Structure 1
Amino acid sequence: MSPSSVACPRCGFPELAPPIVIVEPACTSPEYLHSNYLPPDSVIVGTRREMALAETGIVHVEEKMADLERVIDRLRLRRQGLHDFIAKHRRVLGRVLAPIRRLPNELLSEIFSHCVERDPYEWDPTTNVEWILVLVSRAWRAVSISMPQMWNRISISNTSAPKNMDLKAALSLQLERSTHLPLAIDFDFKSASAEQRISVLETLFSARDRWQVANIHLTQAEVLHFRSGFAFPKLTKLGFSLRPVTDEHTVSSIFRATPALQELCYNGRLVLGPHPTASLLQIGSFPLSQLRRLDLLDFGYHPSELSSVLGLACNILDLRLRGCFSLGDQVDPKALPNLVSLDVAECDGSILGFILAPVLRRLAISFPNARLSYDLESFMTRTGASLTDLTLHHAPAREALLGLLALAPHLTSLSMGHMDTVISWRFVKSLTCGLDKQNLVPQLVSLELTGLFESGFDDSLLVMLKSRCISGPLRSARIGGFRHLADIQGQLLRLGLNSVVDLSDKL
């Protein structure tokens, strides 16, 4: 602030006082401004005096302008400060007035739960929703940490586990936040070093009394390392594989550690010695009769072994088999009186002649060879009357397949995917009128048909779907491989089909 200015008592900014008095210069001889005449000496002296007064006035004006510029700069700073004040407090009010800020913690917890359910299952503290929510605000952190159900899923795989992180510390923290809730564990950490795998497993096994669902892939050395600590009293669903091939003692130790097991899935091959049934099953290490679901994937059992397994697991509701069992004719059929769902893939057809399932509701099967058609016909002759859901993959689109459908009159859902032969107009027409004008699967509600369709029979598909919509309960159709489905979708929708989906792009 210049000496010639003082602060304004109202606003605090400088005000010029006293005002600068500028003497205006006067032109002594204006007639000489517009002519070339030489002025006299008196006029020259007067003109120089007036010019000196003008130069002094310029100095005073510049001082005044400098004072005003300083005032403007200070006003600009004050204005910016006021803008900043408004912006900061507007953000505060925005946070306070935002709808999500006014939600009660109970509703916020429900939202967080849905976020976690939709998040990929793979465990990664750098990207998982529950780990991000705790970083948003103190309030969100408190709500997130108070929800143990957000922290009881752990799935560690080669692709998900972060490389540059103390996994043991992160796992310990997550286990602590899950408090007392049952745990869902998935461990398939093949690419990690043995030391890192053991470290992670030790942390997971520290909470083994809370394991409820587990899918673990271990080496025999890891199983032996933890054998003395096996005890999973709450484990009801277990999927596991062992690498490399192991022995019966390892498997029996796993069974003894899971007294509450209800669902068992084994993936891989076992070589259990010359008498695996005696060594594994008859030792009574695990009561297979309490199982409700059994999955044997690529198990590689001898026929007698599968017979023994199913004989002991006689109360299962859901059975899934994958692998080449090749039972032949030397194995007696096994009755599974409670079985309601059967999924068979890549198996010899003789497996179907080996299972008696009087109340079966769902059957899913693929056709690896032609002989399976005969075995399936024999199986459905015994079981088809109870079937309501049938899925056939890689089946031949021929009259024999229609004969199988005739054995299951109570089907409500039928899926025939990736048909092995061209789907002809005769096959589609037969789906309408059936064999010998017998209506096939009259109770059908949902139909899926994918494969390579014979060209030039739009009317056959349209007539088939129309007839099932008008005179039957069909409400959903999923078609793949048919080029002109878009042309008839409008007509089908008007008939009442709730879902007409073209699956061609997914084939």
Structure 2
Amino acid sequence: MFSIVSRCIECGAKSSPCDFSAIPGTPHHALLNSNDVPLESDAAIVKSTISRTDQHLAWLDREIARLSEQLKQLEEERLRWSSYQAKNRGILSPLRRVPTELLCEIFGWTLTSARESESQLARHPGFCETDSPWVLTHVSRTWREVSVSSPSLWSIVAVNFPNLDLSSSYPLAMIETHVARAQNLRVIFRGSDAHHAPNQIEIFRYLAKHASRWQELRIDLAGSLYPLLDSLRGCVPLLCRVWIRCPGHIPSPEAQSFDFLNTASSLVDTAFYNPPSDFSFHPPSHLTRYELEATLTIHRDLVALAPHLVEAHVYVTDNEESWPRSHEIIGLSLLRRLYVSNGGFLQYIRAPALEELGLHISTASRLHLESFLMRSSCTLQCLCLPDCADFSPYDFNVQETLAVLNNISSLVEFRVNISHSAHQVNVLLAGLAVSDARTRVVAPQLSCISFTPEPWLLIPFDYGAYTKMIKSRWDSPECALTRTELCTSADPGLAPFGSLQLLRENGLQFMLRTGSEATRITSRWMCTYTFDSY
């Protein structure tokens, strides 16, 4: 049993252990074990005891403080020895003997991709010493030598002025060092019309001096940057991917600033949002992907000059009434993925290799689609349905959609993007469900059906009807369904999908994707990308 050795409060010498109990049979003992009123003679004894106890408690407090300080010193000394031991063990670490080539490969995996960099820029300014590759230069001399001598680690230059603190700025010297260590460059530049104009001009002007090394450019333009684009004309021989977003209306004189795109001989992928009305683009014949908001005339001229297109996002800004009635059919023999905001565009092209199509279904667009399929003789495998008022002047027509699904026997995948209201989509769920054996099954050949319900929908997505529809098609011997996906920014939990979890155990591929992963997948469904989702 642990006991405390008492000491004399006068000299500190060891004494017998303290006795905290009164002698049985004494008045003091009786008072401690009762609520009796003490006599005057008893009170004197109690006061004397309290005084001696106070002195002993004070001595104990001093001992505790002394021992606590000693314990603190011992703990600090142990920490120093432990750190010293870790450093010595580090000398023998296998990491010190990793070949330079392997170390460089490992460093490469610490980098974010261009897509992830853009997604991160939506949350913080970027270009920070605590991010890779800069952080790698502060670990050891070897790591610094390897990282500094590996140009691929420094290829992405990402800046985000909208998220930069008003009192801050991007250090030009740091960007100069970053660019000097790179070979080819992938530039991600988010400009702002609200603030930091001098710093934006300074940084972009410096990056433009190295435009001959640009392989990718993703830029959210600010008004102050338009004049600087002129310096890029004829200076971007390696530029193969471009993403440009303009801040609304652009004065006509500024449209000439984008002529540098017509001198980008290596360009294979381009996306342009809010371009000027008189914007003109003459792509190289080897362009494989484009995404553009423009008039029908611009789109027709563009695809006619790009016979090697594999993927296209065609957002037509003018009204169909102004479109020409007589026209030459443009052949796109390599086109595999196409999104069109207006089905009328299909009457101008032939695409025998088309596999994926994003289209808003209406009576008019269904007729255009049928004519296009007959003319192209393509094996369309995937249909993606947008539900956004910005993409089409027509309402979502459920019956026309079901008719299209029934009439295209090659379709195996059906995707529905829900961004405005789930009312018609909920009606569509009922149409896709298998009610009984006597009812004709809609599009039994579909092996994958996917939806993107969002929590902010004016009329919410009916998860119960969705689950019922999937289960009915899974149970039907006529249906080929093997996979279903739900993509939503907010996790709905697993409560609505109890029966699907059971079907998953029997082989159904049920995927629930949320957050940024859902955004990226939905963007790919629509053959598009944005700063936050690409």
TM more than 0.5? yes
- The residue number in structure 2 matching 1:120 is 117
Q: Which residue of structure 2 lines up, in the alignment, with residue 186 of structure 1?
A: 188
Equivalence for 1:59: none
The farther-off stretch of 446-455 and 79-88 is 79-88
Find the aligned partners of 1:228 and 1:340 in 2 and give their Cα distance: 35
**Pick from 351, 355, 363: which aligns with 1:361?**
355
Q: Does the alignment pair 1:173 with 2:187?
A: no
- Structure 1 pair 479–248 and aligned structure 2 pair: CA distance change class (3 A): closer
SS of equivalent residue, structure 1 residue 405: helix
Shift in Å, 1:114: 1.3
Look up the match of 2:32.
none
CA shift digits 1:388-430 (9 cap, x unpaired) = 2221122847332222112332233321232541236751335
1:164 maps onto 2:168 in alignment: yes
Residue pairs, 1:411-430, within 5 angstroms: 411-418=411-418, 419-421=422-424, 422-423=426-427, 426-429=430-433
Q: Gapped runs of 5+ residues in structure 2? A: 1-69, 388-394, 454-460, 520-534
> Given that residues 463 and 496 in structure 2 are in contact (C-alpha distance below 8 angstroms), is that contact kept between their aligned partners in structure 1?
no
Which of 266, 270, 273 matches 1:264?
270
Q: Does the residue aligned with 2:462 lie in a helix, a strand or coil? A: coil
Amino acid at match of 1:234: L
Partner residue in 2 for 1:489: 500
Measure the CA separation in 1 of the matches of 2:501 and 2:169: 55
Q: Which residue is equivalent to 2:104?
A: 109
- Classify 1:185/1:86 alpha carbon distance in 2 versus 1 (closer, same or farther; 3 Å): closer
**Counterparts in 2 of 1:425 and 1:128: CA distance versus 1, 3 Å:** closer
Report the counterpart of residue 399 of structure 2 in structure 1. Answer: 399
What residue number does 1:32 align with? Answer: none
1:352 CA drift (Å): 3.0
Q: Could you tell me how far 1:169 is from its partner in structure 2?
A: 1.0
In the alignment, the residues of structure 1 paired with residue 73 and residue 494 of structure 2 have an alpha-carbon distance, to the nearest angstrom, of: 71
TM-score w.r.t. length of structure 1? 0.68
> Who is 2:319 aligned against?
326
3-state DSSP of counterpart to 1:134: helix
2:154 is aligned with 1:151: yes
Q: What's the CA shift string for 1:245-302, capped at 9, x where partnerless? A: 3348725631343122222222213233xxx7xxx46xxxx454332212113x3x2x
Deviations 1:86-145 (A, max 9, x none): 434312233234554554443332222112136634332244221222223333222222
1:235–1:100 Cα change, 3 Å: same
Number of matched pairs: 412
Query: Which protein is bigger by CA-based radius of gyration?
Result: 1
Aligned to 1:447: 449
The correspondence of residues 52-67 of structure 1 with structure 2, limited to 5 A, is none
Instruction: Return 261-270 or 224-233, whichever deviates more.
Output: 224-233
- 1:166 and 1:459 map into 2 onto residues whose CA distance is 54
Q: Distance in 1 between matches of 2:181 and 2:463?
A: 59
Q: Which amino acid aligns with 1:389?
A: C
User: Root-mean-square deviation (CA), in Å?
Assistant: 4.1
Note the 1:15-414 alignment, pairs <5 A.
Answer: 86-98=81-93, 100-101=95-96, 103-117=98-112, 120-121=117-118, 122=121, 123-161=126-164, 164-178=168-182, 180=183, 182-190=184-192, 191-218=194-221, 222-225=225-228, 227-228=230-231, 230=233, 231-241=235-245, 244-247=250-253, 250=256, 253-272=259-278, 280=280, 286-297=282-293, 299=294, 301=295, 303-328=296-321, 330-331=324-325, 332=327, 333-344=329-340, 347-366=341-360, 371-382=364-375, 385-394=378-387, 396=396, 398-414=398-414
For the structure 1 residues 238 and 433, does the alpha-carbon distance in structure 2 shift closer, same or farther, using more than 3 Å as the test?
A: farther
SS at match of 1:113: helix
Conserved in 2, the CA contact under 8 Å of 1:458 and 1:484? Answer: no
* Aligned equivalents of 1:457, 1:246: Cα separation in 2: 49
Cα pair 1:479 1:503 within 8 Å, conserved: yes
Letter in 2 for 1:330: P
AA aligned to 2:473 is: M
Classify 1:431/1:472 alpha carbon distance in 2 versus 1 (closer, same or farther; 3 Å): farther
The 2-side partners of 1:170 and 1:236 are apart by 26
More RCO (CA 8 Å, sep 6+): 2
Ranges in structure 1 where 5+ consecutive residues have no aligned partner: 1-74
Distance 1:293 1:157, change over 3 A: same
Secondary structure of the 1:290 match is coil
Deviations along 1:459-499, one digit per CA (max 9) or x if unpaired, are 5541212337x963624444889997422123312321233
In structure 2, the CA distance between the partners of 1:433 and 1:183, relative to structure 1 (3 Å rule), is farther
What amino acid is aligned across from residue 510 of structure 2 in structure 1? S
- Residue 339 of structure 2 aligns to a residue in which SS? strand
Q: Do the aligned partners of 2:360 and 2:396 also contact (CA within 8 Å) in 1?
A: no
Paired AA for residue 265 in structure 1: A
Residues 309 and 498 of structure 1: CA distance in aligned 2, closer, same or farther (over 3 Å): closer
Q: Identity of paired residues, percent?
A: 19
